[in-house]
Amino acid sequence: MARMHAHPIRFPALAIFAGALLLAGCGGAGGDSGEADAAGLSATTPETASPAAAPSPKDAPKPDKKEKPSAKTAAGAPATSPFGTATLTYPDDFQMTLLAYRLTDREPPLAAWAGEVYEVKHADEFSKAAKRDAETARLADIYASTEGIGVLQIRLNSQISQYDTGRGGYYLTAFSPGNQVTFNGKESVSLQLDNMSSAFFWPVDAARAQEILEHSSRRVSLDTKVQLTGIQRRSTGLVIQGRIAEYGIYSSRYNDERQFEHVTLN
């Protein structure tokens, strides 16, 4: 057996040490200061750093229901949708920027934008403030028009493909799967239509397809109703998501607009 080598302790010292332990265990004169030391340690040591015995179920404190909702309750709470039921009809680039601000719960810098308008920027010192205030109020009215929006009505320019004799119809290039509609306002905003593939093919019989081609020269406009469904921020900018609810296919001839078809999607 290996022997442990240590400095020998003399018997008198061992006796003194044992006596000290006996006094501490019996709660002698030093007991009060020991309690004070323990209290001081408890006050300065973090709770998580000192192990303690877990309480038995009958002694465990009852949870305070008012304190915090459980993880299950918090996860089960439905998220508030930013979309309403109102329709924004044929929005321009600036309106889409304001809609993006609205949907992401941001306040647009209307006064700063008003100051960039030519009439305000180049106004003299006597009229600049009044013109800036008037322009800010005009922009505020436009921003107010984006409240409660959940539907967009937009017009898309499109071409029709060569006639597909196998399937019996045209393809609408504006609805090519993966396409996005981009609005270049104060911020770039894209509209992603998740069910474009359902609107991509336009079934038309051959006789009518020839009439459509003669009247359209392969150029049509798509009057499209979009139900908004989501919003995402990507590296390319803000993307508003939606689904095509219905659309009309029109000729693009000047002063000779004709509706070729109206389609409703499920």
Q: How many whole angstroms separate alpha carbon 208 and alpha carbon 261? A: 11
3-state secondary structure of 203: strand
What pLDDT sits at residue 79?
A: 59
What pLDDT sits at residue 125?
A: 97
Helix axes 93-103, 128-144, angle to 10 degrees: 70
* Of 193, 255, 260, 188, residue with least CA distance to 224: 193
pTM greater than 0.85 (yes/no): no
What pLDDT sits at residue 252?
A: 80
Residue whose structure tokens are 């309480």? 55
Residue-wise pLDDT for 134-191, tens only, equals 999 999 999 999 999 999 999 999 999 999 999 999 999 999 999 999 999 999 999 9
What pLDDT sits at residue 133?
A: 98
Regions of the chain short of the pLDDT cut 70: 1-79
Cβ neighbour number for residue 120 with a 10 Å cutoff: 20
Q: Check if the beta carbon of residue 169 is closer than 8 Å to that of residue 207.
A: no
What pLDDT sits at residue 44?
A: 34
Q: Can you read off the two tokens belonging to residue 178?
A: 């993966």
